[in-house]
A and B are shown apart, each in its own frame.
Chain A
């Protein structure tokens, strides 16, 4: 038996105490690892978002985010000036409207006289139970507002001059073909979810604005936030909604990231207070701000749990050394050096922390994903726009949903391009790799060595003669 095996054996000298210490250390190290894993997952997501930032500028009518009706839509005249600015290489223009499903009930508030209708049903299934829980003020309990049985979420119709990329999402056509953005025909792209809900195929027709539309393409709606949308040419939408020359959202693509800030300022100067102008960099930063908060929380929690682990082992080792003063005195009397005795106690401490780390790795592996999701969900929920209910309804304000008013869905129009990214936060995967396990073991050894410094100091101060005198 040598100093290492003695240290190992001593770690389990008092089984009850050792198990308690190991469990406490396991929890502390487990929490540290969860925070490392969460931080890593969030950092990867931030890197991925940052690397995907395009050099675009999003232009929406002023006040677009407060869900009020838009009476000041962007005009073709304004946008022509933008398109002619230096460094602007293309300009995507969208006009968004909402269509009430024929025969579906309206909500009992707001303007319900809207005539813009469709025979399509929304594929979006609302969880009213969840919504009423979150918004008890609107869905009053005990005889308050009741959702009509035949309520269907209004369909969003987006007219665009660039159907290949809608609200920053590259459409993937799963069948059929893209529509021409410059067309003025009643043709449409529908999402796979919409097609499935309404039994639509290529060549099928549906009604909107009391006009027949032909489905020419079906796009994959995964993670695009466009599942409840139908895409039509811009001119068609302007004609049918009686908003000729109006645009509710424009995306300008700039020739390089270097010119993004300057061009954004130029666009702001051209449009003045009539529009909100946000560059993709600003949008990305706003979108990932909650993730940066999680990184900070994770870092502080990591430091806190590591310090807690160090303090635990520090106090435990001091207690153990004080308890075994006589034994240490005897070991020194019969020829053991301070270093050798300290080494034995460090081995004991390492045994406790490594065993704790193994428990911690198991805890960390099991808890990393749930805790990461909890952090992401809570933090992103706290950072959502004030009118959070609008998200439940796919972007539209509540009154506007009730009315089917053609000028709502402002939030979606403004945030659409980054909605997919924000939705993807829910898919953040906390991966437990070898590096994390090695980090855990490494942290355990560091905790043990730092935690043992006081005990080593105490050991060096124990004088065998004094211990012997206590006989």
Chain B
């Protein structure tokens, strides 16, 4: 499902080159739940951005579901992100003046899913992540951190993506809620057959994934 070949990313910083990602190779099949650990500045977020089509690599290939995204135009990348990728962020990044269900409907609107279908699917997803009928109408300001992250997970799943990229999804949560969210992601990777890559600092959580990779100085090791 995901093939990464000789991926490198070099930044210019202060007049010199910084090798953020150095010759990374990775291959994941459908429904895999893997984690990437590494110190701050090791290139974890850069790798996620490259895989998510938010940034372009200096060299190498990223093939998602048989399609090489490295040579895609910006316009094609938007479509790729909308249809194939789901993002989960550490600070949830929900749109504050939209309700939970409206936040989940948002990515579906971007790829042209009809309104009635959007609503039904969003309700189903929110039910799967444990929301009640009353809670789905709440705005993010009236939801706890754990609930907001559940909405973010439902939003990431909205367009049935092939790949979900989660950047420190439990970073802002207490350890109990963090574990619940992690279990939820694990369950969804199996039930939805979605490949999930989680970047985390938490070794305990990382060990519960199918595979853990360590990123150090831009190099990825098992």
Interface residues of A (CB under 8 A from B): 1-3, 6, 9-10, 13, 326-327, 330-337, 340, 463-465, 468-469, 471
Q: Which of B94-102, B177-185, B214-222 lies on the face that meets chain A?
A: B94-102
Q: What are 6 sample pairs from A and B whose C-beta atoms fall under 8 A apart?
A: A6-B98, A330-B87, A330-B93, A335-B107, A335-B159, A471-B167
* Known contacts A2-B109, A471-B167, A337 near B78 by CB under 8 Å: yes
Shortest Cβ distance from residue A307 to the other chain B in the assembled complex, whole angstroms: 31
Task: Tell whether A335 pairs with B97 under 8 Å between CB atoms, given A468-B167, A471-B89.
Answer: no
A335 & B111 in contact (Cβ 8 Å cutoff): yes
Question: Could you tell me if A333 and B75 are in contact, using CB atoms closer than 8 angstroms?
Answer: no
| A361 CB to nearest B CB, Å | 28
CB-defined contacts of B162 to chain A, threshold 8 Å: none
In the complex, are the beta carbons of B89 and A468 less than 8 A apart? yes
> A residues within 8 A CB of B42?
none
Number of A-B contacts (CB under 8 A): 70
Tell me, rounded to whole Å, the shortest Cβ–Cβ distance linking B150 to chain A: 16
Given A335-B78, A335-B81, A336-B78, answer yes or no on A465-B49 (Cβ-Cβ < 8 Å): yes
Hey, which chain B residues are within 8 Å of A335, CB to CB?
Answer: 78-79, 81-83, 107, 110-111, 159
Expressed in whole angstroms, the minimum distance between the Cβ of B115 and any Cβ of chain A is: 8
A334 in contact with B54 (CB, 8 Å): no
- Interface positions of B from 11 to 61, Cβ below 8 Å from A: 45, 49, 52, 54-55
Point out the residue from A1, A334, A337, A468 that lies within 8 Å of B98, measured CB to CB: A1
Q: Most A CB atoms within 10 A — which of B45, B83, B107, B110? A: B110
The count of chain B contact residues (Cβ–Cβ below 8 Å) is 33
A-side contacts of B105, CB under 8 Å: 1
B121 at the interface (CB under 8 A from A): no
Give the CA-CA distance A3 to B98 in the complex, in Å.
12
B interface residue numbers (CB < 8 A to A): 45, 49, 52, 54-55, 75, 78-79, 81-83, 86-87, 89-91, 93, 95-98, 102, 105-107, 109-111, 115, 155, 159, 167-168
In the complex, the answer to whether B110 meets A468 with C-beta atoms within 8 Å is: no
Among B82, B91, B97, the residue within 8 A (CB) of A471 is B91
Inside 8 A of B87's CB, which chain A residues have their CB? 330, 333-334
| Chain B residue at minimal CB-CB distance from A5 | B102
In the complex, the answer to whether A1 meets B82 with C-beta atoms within 8 Å is no
Residues of A within 8 A of B86 (CB): 334
**Is B90 in contact with A334, judged by CB distance below 8 angstroms?**
no
Contacts A10-B97, A468-B54; is A334 near B82 (CB within 8 Å)?
yes
The reply to whether B90 and A471 form a contact with Cβ atoms under 8 Å apart is yes
Further 17 A-B residue pairs, CB within 8 A, beyond A2-B115, A468-B54: A1-B98, A3-B109, A10-B97, A326-B93, A327-B93, A330-B95, A331-B95, A333-B87, A334-B86, A334-B110, A334-B155, A335-B107, A335-B110, A335-B159, A465-B49, A468-B49, A468-B167
B95 partner residues in chain A, CB cutoff 8 A:
327, 330-331
The 4 A-B residue pairs with the shortest CB-CB distance in the complex, in nearest-first order = A335-B82, A335-B110, A465-B54, A465-B55
A468: chain B residues at CB < 8 Å are: 45, 49, 54, 89, 167
Q: A330-B89, A335-B107, A468-B89 are in contact. Are A1 and B83 (CB under 8 A)?
A: no
> Nearest Cβ in chain B — how far from A92, in angstroms?
76
Chain B residues with CB under 8 Å of A333's CB are: 52, 54, 81, 87
Q: CB-nearest residue of chain B relative to A12? A: B97
- Bound complex: CA A336 to CA B75 (Å): 10
CB distance from A17 to the nearest CB of B (A): 13
B40 to chain A, nearest CB (A): 12
Q: How far is the CA of A349 from the CA of B81 in the complex (A)?
A: 28
Hey, which chain A residues are within 8 Å of B110, CB to CB?
334-337, 340
The CB with the most chain B CB atoms within 10 A, among A10, A332, A333, is that of: A333
When distances are taken between beta carbons in the complex, the residues of chain A under 8 Å from B98 are 1, 6
Expressed in whole angstroms, the Cα–Cα distance for A471 and B168 within the complex equals 10
From B75, B97, B106, B167, contact of A334 by CB (8 A):
B106
**Known contacts being A468-B54, A471-B90, is A332 close to B45, with CB within 8 Å?**
no
Give the residue among B52, B91, B93, B95 with the most A Cβ atoms within 10 A: B93
For the complex, what is the distance from the CA of A2 to the CA of B96, rounded to whole Å? 16
Q: Which residues of A contact B52 (CB under 8 A)?
A: 333
In the complex, the answer to whether A464 meets B54 with C-beta atoms within 8 Å is: yes
CA distance A337 to B110 in the complex (A): 8
Please name the residue on chain B nearest to A336 by beta carbon. Answer: B110
Does the CB pair B102–A1 fall under 8 Å?
yes
- Determine the residue in chain A with the shortest Cβ distance to B84: A335
A9-B54 CB under 8 A given contacts A2-B109, A334-B82: no
Residue of B nearest to A2 (CB): B109
* A330: B residues at CB distance < 8 A: 87, 89, 93, 95
> What separation, in Å, do the CA atoms of A14 and B174 have in the docked complex?
31
Q: Given contacts A1-B105, A334-B110, A335-B82, are A469 and B45 in contact (CB under 8 A)?
A: yes
Bound together, the chains give a CA A468 to CA B91 distance in angstroms of: 10
